[in-house]
Chains A and B, each alone.
Chain A
């Protein structure tokens, strides 16, 4: 069964803290994505990665960075968390062979609250 696992379901951090959100997939997928989900705004793409050590900015990359050192793991980093980064973060993966028409497989999400 396809599995995308986000290590932290709920996090509470303080303004200015560095935050790591981890995502691991066991499907040998090349493509991985980070979205944030906000009511009324839908899903907005932060960063995506076509393959190991590759990354592309999405629509809202400001304040975020990513790391993809291994194929199965895609990390989202908030260098200095701010209150406007309070959100639900969703990780997803997809096979490169289905890059255009393929299904994204999502994790359960990480709800981050920045105080």
Chain B
């Protein structure tokens, strides 16, 4: 079955620094979603990537899907305390019981 592995599991950065979170799939990705979750709240959709080499940006967050469609990276430029939370990647899974699978998340803390 398909699995998503996120790295790092947790990250502490100084405000203003850039950071990257990776999401690697064991199989080809047909749709890759990035979500952000603030502690105690539900997931907020950030971006969806489908095509190999695709790149999207939302404010200071950029996500890319590699050409082979097995890895995606989420890059935050000039991090701010408001970026803190859990970042989850999710993917359309074909052939499994469910329709969506998720990585285990990356916990981001931004020190002011």
Chains A and B form a bound pair: no
B-to-A contact residues, CB < 8 Å = none
A-to-B contact residues, CB < 8 Å = none
